[in-house]
Amino acid sequence: MFEFSLFQDTLNMKKITFSILITLIFTTFTIAQNVSIPDAAFKNYLVNNSEINTNADGEIQVSEANAFTGSIIANSLGISDLTGIEAFTNLNRLYCLSNNLTSIDVSNNTAITVLSVNYNSLTTLDLTNNTNLERLACMSNNLTSITIPNNTALNLIDCGYNDLTEINIDNKTNLESLVCSYNDINTLNLSNLTLLTNLECEGNNLTNLNTSSNTNLQTLSCNSNDLTSLDVSTNTALTYLGCTYNEIASLNLSNNTLLTSINCFNNNLTALDVTNNTLLTNLRCQYNNLEALDLSNQTLLTNFFCENNVLTELNLKTGNNSNMTTSNFTAANNNLTCITVDDVNYANTTFTNIDSGVSFSENCSGSLSTSNIDKLAITIYPNPVKNTINISAKNEGNINSVECYNLLGKRVFKAPFSNKLDVSHLKTGMYVIKLNSDYGSRIQKIVVN
């Protein structure tokens, strides 16, 4: 009896030991199946997403992560570590904007088509394995390098506001939109991007920009670079052109008949022909060296800024002046005396951002026609001059004012017409005298000793 009892106790002990062992194995197995997610904010997002945490157990199992084929949208949650994302091998889209990420590893997420990690602190981004990626947004980080997958699926890249010196887009033949603004990029090879419709590359160090292959381009913004020339003759689909703050000396827009907006201020333009750009609603060409502008074909124009040029002629008779407000027009700091407009009364009350002495007319011209030259034949003497010049002209009663300009195009003074003009206060050099009359204007150079 004693022996049987001892045997029974031994058997029970073995059962208990076996039960404990099974429990430990099961527990270990269960723990091993949970995804390690050390970042509390990231884990909180995942476990509270019923599409991911399907058993609502407060953990994310590997099986749950593997099965998920949707989108993770974890924006502005204070996430600093995305460890655990590697378990989501079938993830389709990842949005993790405005967090505290300094690194990210998506090498296991080979099914991902959209990655958006704007507004973090990433320094590098390796996307070598993400060959299904279609859209990449990583703007406003601290990126110095991006390894973009060798695929042709990408149709959008936005990597603006980083520290990139280059971006490899040679074989991205399906790319439709490239935004790489405000980096330190010196060159862009766009030759294979025949489907490109949007290019924003402002704020870089570009000295050359060849868009001849990008015949589908609709929006081009290359402001704040070091461009001295820009050829957009093949970009016939362009509707918007922004090339401000460069050193561009000439701009041929004759083929760009679909343009609705041109921003070309702060360049070295001396002429701008927009005759063929009849769809223009916005033209900003201030801070150049433009001498004349004819906008009579711009019947849709509502925004026009041309201050700080050397304009002597401006035809603003568009038939649409009534849709242009005071805040949408500036023509100050030019050499204008008369601006051709639709309606003088409307212009006088609305177009107030002009130099003093400038008048409006429905038919003024900055130069004389051949028939009027004889009506204002002038003689200015002595020339060279030291103190006073004498002016004689036919029909002197029709002369309204006399202006004097230096060779930089800056007006030195303007005065009512007089046969004698005191120039003793002028520094030694060459000047241009301009007589304004009912027949137009007449200019003559003088030398002051």
Q: Which residue has the tokens 């390894």?
A: 147
Mean pLDDT computed over every residue of the chain: 88
Indicate the range of 49-53, 309-313, 366-370 predicted with least confidence.
Answer: 366-370
The tokens describing 347, both together, are 């212009």
What is the arithmetic mean of pLDDT over 277-305?
A: 96
Q: Which long-range contacts (CB under 8 A, 24 or more apart) does 84-90 make?
A: 84/35, 84/36, 84/37, 84/38, 84/39, 84/42, 84/43, 84/46, 84/60, 85/109, 87/35, 87/60, 87/62, 89/65, 90/66
The tokens describing 363, both together, are 């038919």
Res. 2: pLDDT tops 80: no
Q: Output DSSP code: residue 398.
A: G
Query: In sequence order, what DSSP letters do the residues of 28-90 get, joined into one string?
Result: HHHHHTBPP---HHHHHHHHT-TTT-TT-SSS-BHHHHHH--SEEE--SS-----TTGGG-TT
pLDDT for res 405 = 79
What is residue 15's three-state secondary structure? helix
Ordered by where they begin, the domains of the chain are 373-448 (2.60.40.10)
Using a pLDDT cut of 90, give the percent of the chain over it.
71
- H-run or E-run covering 23: helix 2-32
| Residue partners of 349: CB distance under 8 A and separation at least 6 | none
- What gap in Å lies between CA 276 and CA 273, rounded to an integer? 8
Length reported for the chain = 449
Q: Output DSSP code: residue 143.
A: -
pLDDT for res 394 = 60
CB 241 within 8 A of CB 256: yes
pTM of this structure: 0.76
Indicate the range of 15-19, 243-247, 351-355, 442-446 predicted with least confidence.
Answer: 15-19
Res. 16: pLDDT tops 60: no
**Helix residue ranges per DSSP H, 209-330:** none
Q: Output DSSP code: residue 7.
A: H
**Helix residue ranges per DSSP H, 253-368:** 344-350
- What gap in Å lies between CA 124 and CA 141, rounded to an integer? 9
What is the arithmetic mean of pLDDT over 366-393?
A: 66
> Maximum distance among all alpha carbons in the chain?
149
Please compute, for residue 157, the number of CA atoms within 13 A of its CA located in the half-sphere on the CB side.
23
- State the Cα angle at 361 between 325 and 268, rounded to 5°: 65
pLDDT digits (tens, 9 = 90+) for 311-368: 999 999 999 999 999 999 999 999 998 999 999 999 999 999 999 889 999 987 543 3
Q: Which residue has the tokens 């590997």?
A: 62
428 vs 438, higher pLDDT: 428
**Type of residue at 204:** N
